[in-house]
Amino acid sequence: MKQIRLAILGQGRSGRDIHGLHLKKDTERFKVVAVVDQMPIRRERAAEEFGCDVYADYRELFNRDDIDMVVNALPSDLHFAVTKDLLEHGFNVLCEKPFVPTVEEYDILVSIAESKNLKLIVFQQSRFANYFLKVKEVIASGKLGRIVHIGVQFNGYARRWDWQCCLDKNGGNLANTGPHPLDQALNLLDYYDGMPQVFCHMDRCNTFGDAEDYCKLILKAPDRPIIDLDISSCDAYPAYTYKVEGTRGTLKGTMAHIDWKYFKEEEAPKQELIRESLTSGEEKFPAYCTESLKWYEESWDGDPQAPFIAAVQTYYDQVYALLTEGREHDIKLFQVRQQLAIIREAHRQNF
């Protein structure tokens, strides 16, 4: 089995605790041959954990010709410049989210990658989370009927004072947390050929920075369900992750548990429009539309930690297939471009 040689830039929460955690287990297919971090103690730990070479500056990688792909897990504001430099020096790049702040920067990076026949992919692993796959499965089954409304909440209560709450660092809830639920929502919307209408309201509630920590994003597209996305850091009672309303039923649930109920059209009482006032009995008492529907209820339970572990596994399965077989990754760059355009428009409406 071919072993893919990787370099990881950054040993923060993403570089070490997400990519590094997976790659330490997936050693038959992947080998971390280099780690870059500014902190000496992190370099020492990486050398011990991966048995790899370590550097303080990513540009030292330019002297090597044994790296199949570089994982750019540096802070968000460094994604564009460093990814551009890596591509120009001939490296395939897996870049963390948020990819880059603007569509213009996206276009530059994609143009370089295409001109040099390099692989450029973005780490949107939540597309493969098991709870999201279950939501997609239920919707695709048709049991809920035509989908009218998709509500998504990535909410919680938190105060934040790190670099990810600063606009000049490409921080804020929509750019930082938002790429996960927004990628999922856009995948359900399936309107990649156009640009949905965007309404966004942002607020600063508990943050110590200048970026938003409350975001309400509404997306609308022709013949598609409306998307209602919340990413709030001031919700001490988060109720659900997904709520999907259809013409014959509803789904609600979290990353660990999902319920859905629906009725079957063929079993529903036959009704016809009555334009006159409804009455009941010979006494003609006022009446209301009332009927008895037979409801079917189903549920799903998942491990609360499993969505993150399984999603990363599936993402790297596809990375391996991309680099060894040329098989296209499910996270398409044009899909990321649409997401960036929406985030940019949301910022334009608020800042």
List, for residues 87-102, the tens digit of each pLDDT value.
Answer: 999 999 999 999 999 9
| Arch. (CATH architecture) of 127-304+333-350 | 2-Layer Sandwich (3.30)
Q: Which helix (H) or strand (E) holds 149?
A: strand 147-153
Domain definitions of the chain by residue range: 4-123, 127-304+333-350
Q: Quick: pLDDT tens for 196-250.
A: 999 999 999 999 999 999 999 999 999 999 999 999 999 999 989 999 999 999 9
Q: pLDDT tens across 113-145, in order?
A: 999 999 999 999 999 999 999 999 999 999 999
CATH number of 4-123: 3.40.50.720
Share of the chain above pLDDT 70, in %: 99
Q: Does residue 11 contact residue 46 with C-beta atoms inside 8 Å?
A: yes
What SS3 class is residue 233? coil
Evaluate the CA torsion angle 205, 209, 210, 215 in order and state its sign. negative
Residue 172 backbone class (left: φ over 0; alpha: ψ -120 to 50; beta: rest): left
Tell me the pLDDT band of 304, cut-offs 50, 70 and 90: low
Mean pLDDT of the chain: 94
